[in-house]
Amino acid sequence: MVELTLPLKKVRCMNCANKIKAALTALPGVESVDVNTEQATLRGTFTPQAAVDTITQLGYEAGYQYQLPLAGLSCGKCVRKVKDALDGHPDIFFADVSKTALNASGTLPEPQLIELIESLGYSVPAYSAYELSLSGLSCGKCVAKVEELLAQQAGIDSFTVSKTHASVRTTQPQATVIALIEDAGFTASPATEQADTSESAASSTATNTATDEVPAEPLSSAGEPQGSNISQQFILSGMTCASCVSSVEKAILSVPGVVSTSVNLAERTALVSGDAQSSLILQAVADAGYQAELSEDELTRRQRQQAQNEQVYRQHIKNAYIALTVGGPLMAWGVFGGSMMIVSRADQIGWGAIGIITLILLATVGKHFFVNAWKAFKHHRATMDTLVALGTGAAWLYSTLVVLVPDLLPMQARHVYFEASAMILGLITLGHALEARARSRTSKALEQLMDLQPPTAVIVDNGEEREVPLADVRTGMVLRLHPGAKVPVDGTILEGQSYIDESMLTGEPIPANKKAGDTLHAGTINQHGSLLFTAEKIGRDTMLARIIELVRQAQSSKPALARLADTISAIFVPAVMIIAIVTAMIWYYFGPEPSSVYMLVTATTVLIIACPCALGLATPMSVTVGVGRAAEYGVLIRNAEALQIAADVDTVILDKTGTLTEGKPALISSECYSGFNKGQLLTLAASLEQGSEHPLAAAIVNAAKAEALSLEPQQHFRAQPGYGISGQVLGHTVLLGNQKLMDQHRVDLSPALPATVDASVQGATPIYVAVDGQLAGLLAVSDPIRHDSVSAIKRMQKMGLEVIMLTGDIPATANAIAKQAGIAHVIAGVLPDGKASEVERIQQQGKRVAMVGDGINDAPALAQADIGIAMGSGSDVAIESAQLTLVRHSLHGVPDALQLSKATLRNMKQNLFGAFIYNTLGIPVAAGILFPFTGALLSPVVAGAAMALSSITVVSNANRLRLFKPDGGDRQAAQAQTEN
């Protein structure tokens, strides 16, 4: 088994990536492929060079990724010598060189890269991999401390650390590593099973053991094979606006080994892909002026974020109460006629005391605004905190100047604005509190999914039942599921029968009847009977865990609209500061007297009202809620970009077998010719089909078993995709397939023409059987349409979608099925490798295409389509081959997914429109554009309230998606009919 990650160049969009994925999927031996615009990850038994050549033939560039230790480089000149040699080599894409390590990518084979380094007079030292047992590490901070020590130690290539175990790959002696950990106050010792085999640092293979010829791969810091695309999630704090998002993303992307990152302002998380060490990422975020912590699992992340949200909410509510308590009476004093001018000594003393109180308020309640603004200034950036600090600080400084030296200012300018500083702090902080409370509801769907997994399981050992923690369950254990209990892990039923509620996973409201041999999924609920089942998939391998991971990744991803907002946000705050300065200058030089007062009011109001918070929250809030809502309906969305593209789909192409139909074909009739009887015909056909994986093969084999016929050995089996199969059974040459196969072997089909017409009219697939070159029989296999497919297709057509059926079946059968389903446009007789071409042809007509298939045979077509939608039970192949996966096997998931996509995109646009229009109108009004017509200026206090209201509006609007329900009247009727 080979796992290969190839860096890509010249891949500009996801359509390019989809073309690469389709080409790689077709390579012999490739089992799974994951491609984005930056890299391709493949698994299987294939030659790496074949993958590189395939990508190159498509017009793109691909290569290997190297992470090698270096020895003998003593100074900067040595580093430059190696760097120049690698940069000048045509087969090296990128090279980052230090005195001790090389991080590079290219197409140059590693042995040749080593030779190149050694020819320069340097060397690549050998590695040893150590497994250590640890004790004394009681929390995540202890783990992080050990990780930080290992990251700083020279000669350590990669490592993974938990509370009880460490894997370290290094050129240092084992004793040195143990001493390093023990110096930190912990205990380390060699693990009982040690894997300290020395290996070449450059090679991706290690010395083979006596029992396994598969080479061990070096581990990355996250404990995965080097070069694999590991996802790490971090919980962030200190972020306040979209400018912060941009800063954090830049900091993370600067860490070596990071392939991509997506920072979600709504959830305050960062999802990082690559093989970078977590300690380096944490340090990069800290250096940028923010805080981060590694999220070990979804439950920990959820608990930590809930605690953070609750803490932030309580703190903001407390601060808002204090600030409004001070600012409210002051503002009421001014509104109801109280003097806010400094005209006497008594006024100086009284307002001076108010100034001190306000200063204390700025230093306590508003401290974080000024601290964050200072951090941003040190990192040469500006954020929302910068605007608030400048606005409130300017109001306080001007007011203090009036109090201390009123005689320097004309009488009209001796107005104080202490109430503005207090009220702005109070209103903005209150807005943040309400925003934090609303944010905590956005991931409700994901939290409900995590709540599905029970903390314990009942295992049956030697006839005795005992309850154990879920972490103690191992594959192969026999578990007991009592009525009303949640299924703890995926498995297969051994004994019993019951109805299982799978609605939270699949969106299907009707409980499924499960009996011995059926599959159970973690998180589903047993309604009635007691079941005995075998644990087969545990932990992260369960279907529930995979769904949670997909939802988490999708919620952290960004559509094109979000990237547009991020681009604007990066220049938004500096632009606002420039506008505020220009506004101040215009009012100072051209405004009426007292110009200094007008200058202060307008500049402060511009700074306060122009908040980038709403802009930064607009898309991530919608994506988070929309993806979670889709998961509740059994629709798994791979990334937010797919969500945006799906909203524009106007054509849906449906595969027939297993998509439009039940996927459980059955033999409905048979005709015999040339002296053969039904028993002989079925024996020969089923004996040959037992070597086939085609869905129709199972129907023929099952029919033979139902007749109690014995299957004979077959030889020289050969499958021809799109035609049929051939081989030898009982000394006879047997052909089994469609008309194309028979024509290829010149078999006369004229005796079977009437039966062929009858089968096609019934919507059955005619399968011809020829023995020794003579037609022996015709088998009619029918795969009935799913009970809800017709109503689902009607829903799609009502939505204005063009529905097309694409199948390899003969036109007569395909048209019969299409007529039953209500589909007018049929493309039949297409070979598996031609489906992608048909999809491309339809796209060339200007259509935005969604391809719906089973995710295995239809993988190239799914990749070619604008949106690939995989049907089925969420298998690995289906999830990997499509952007959307329908967990429940129902076509109603397609209109559900498309309607949810449209609703989410509409919500995003509403939020962005609100944020843009708010700032487009608010800033000119704050600058005083209405003053010539009204004679009044916008108060900074009103600006502060409007700024807080904008963020609350965006968050509230995004949460409306939680109430969205797809138009499913026909679906509900179909379900009710089925239930009855």
Which residues are catalytic, by number? 655
- The tokens 């081989």 sit on which residue? 727
d(CA 90, CA 158): 28
d(CA 889, CA 391): 57
Sheet containing 635-637: order of strands: 635-637, 884-886, 867-870, 849-853, 651-655, 802-806, 825-827
**Is the CB of residue 111 less than 8 Å from the CB of residue 117?**
no
d(CA 83, CA 73): 12
* Contacts with 285 (C-beta within 8 Å, 6 or more apart), sequence order: 234, 236, 248, 251, 252, 270, 291, 292
d(CA 275, CA 223): 9
Give Cα 91 to chain centroid, integer Å. Answer: 32
DSSP 539-600: GGGSHHHHHHHHHHHHHH---HHHHHHHHHHHHHHHHHHHHHHHHHHHHHHHSPSSHHHHHH
**Is the CB of residue 708 less than 8 Å from the CB of residue 686?**
no
d(CA 215, CA 68): 18
**Is the CB of residue 516 less than 8 Å from the CB of residue 495?**
yes
* Contacts with 935 (C-beta within 8 Å, 6 or more apart), sequence order: none
> What length does the chain have?
980
Amino acid sitting at position 595: S
Q: 28-47 burial by CB neighbour count: b if 16+ within 10 A, else e?
A: eebbbbbbbeebbbbbbebe
Beta bridge partners of 531: 481
Beta bridge partners of 272: 232, 261
Amino acid sitting at position 283: Q
DSSP 279-332: HHHHHHHHHTT-EEEEE-SHHHHHHHHHHHHHHHHHHHHHHHHHHHHHHHHHHH
d(CA 605, CA 370): 18
Q: Give ∠ CA 306-136-235 in degrees, rounded to 5.
A: 25
Sheet containing 531-537: order of strands: 464-469, 456-461, 478-481, 531-537, 490-495, 519-520
d(CA 231, CA 223): 11
- The tokens 């920072």 sit on which residue? 263
- The tokens 């998931």 sit on which residue? 893
d(CA 759, CA 753): 10
* Contacts with 787 (C-beta within 8 Å, 6 or more apart), sequence order: 974, 977, 978
Show the beta-strand stretches assigned E in 765-801.
765-771, 774-782
d(CA 307, CA 394): 35
**Is the CB of residue 721 less than 8 Å from the CB of residue 738?**
no
d(CA 28, CA 777): 34
CA trace torsion 531, 537, 539, 543 (10° rounding): -90
Phi, psi of 43, rounded to the nearest 5 degrees: -130, 145
Element spanning 931, H or E: helix 931-934
